[in-house]
Amino acid sequence: MKSVSFLTGTLLLFLIEVSAFAERHTTVTLLHFSDYHSHAVPFQVIDEAGVELSTQGQVTGESVLGNFIMDIFRSAVQTHLALSTTSSFREPIPPGTIREETLRTALPYTNRILIYSMSGAQIQNLLNYSISRSGSDFFSQVSGVRFRIVANWATDIQILKDPANPQAGYDPLDPAATYTVATTDFQGLVAGGYKEIFAQATYQDTGIDVRDQVRGFIQAHSPVAARLDGRITAWKNR
């Protein structure tokens, strides 16, 4: 009888411990769930898109969504050039109502904007590396620069004359000149191949979130639209 009582008592203590663990685990899970939903309102309407902001072509050249986001990105910090890996842009934004979940589906990652001071030669290296990753989501979408891809090389590179006034047009890239370059914290500090080039330059962390900038632009300029403009073109031997 003592043996049976001991086993019964041990089993009871075990069940109590399991119950307590389950209660603590469930409480933590519910807190995390509540925290997520207190900050994200997926069905909240942001505003409207007048056209489809398409991702088509984004791993080999420019895309409508890439142009739209990167122009907002560059304008937010007024740099000569902005670039971001295509991996940041996951889905197109369809025409019509844009909700928070639509934006987060297109831009699922939190990315801060870093500003680098770089030479024209370093920018050439960045663009060449991007081209070497053509066909993958490590190819970069850009703003503030125009170039042709010839034999897997960036050629005829032109960069904004005045970052604060895009209407002033472009100048040929000078390898010896110094320019301001904006990118994401992921591309500048983490992404292999890119981070080694960026490590040769100094940077400032602006703390500005890309998705917040895009959301604000949509709210201020609805219905939003964008188009392909030839900023990245591929030379074809006919």
Lowest mean pLDDT among 36-40, 49-53, 164-168, 231-235: 36-40
Q: Are 82 and 70 in contact (CB under 8 A)?
A: yes
Residue in the structure block whose two tokens are 């320019």: 179
| Tens digit of each residue's pLDDT (9 = 90 or more) over 169-178 | 999 999 999 9
With a cut of 80, say whether residue 40 has pLDDT above it.
no
Q: Are 170 and 71 in contact (CB under 8 A)?
A: no
Q: What is the pTM of this model?
A: 0.82
Residue 8: which pLDDT band, with cuts at 50, 70 and 90? very low
Phi, psi of 174 (to 5 degrees): -100, 115
Residue 236: which pLDDT band, with cuts at 50, 70 and 90? low
pLDDT reported for residue 235: 78
Amino acid type, 26? T
Cα angle 163-205-132, degrees, rounded to a multiple of 5: 70
pLDDT reported for residue 225: 98
Phi, psi of 200 (to 5 degrees): -85, -5
Residue 41: which pLDDT band, with cuts at 50, 70 and 90? confident
CA atoms of 57 and 226, how far apart (whole Å):
15
CA atoms of 131 and 151, how far apart (whole Å):
10
| Tens digit of each residue's pLDDT (9 = 90 or more) over 68-83 | 999 999 999 999 999 9
Tokens for 39, please give them: 């900050």
Q: Which of 213, 219, 42, 215 is nearest to 112 (CA)?
A: 213
- CATH no. for 45-234: 3.90.780.10
CA atoms of 2 and 50, how far apart (whole Å):
79
| Tens digit of each residue's pLDDT (9 = 90 or more) over 94-126 | 999 999 999 999 999 999 999 999 999 999 999
| Tens digit of each residue's pLDDT (9 = 90 or more) over 118-166 | 999 999 999 999 999 999 999 999 999 999 999 999 999 999 999 999 9
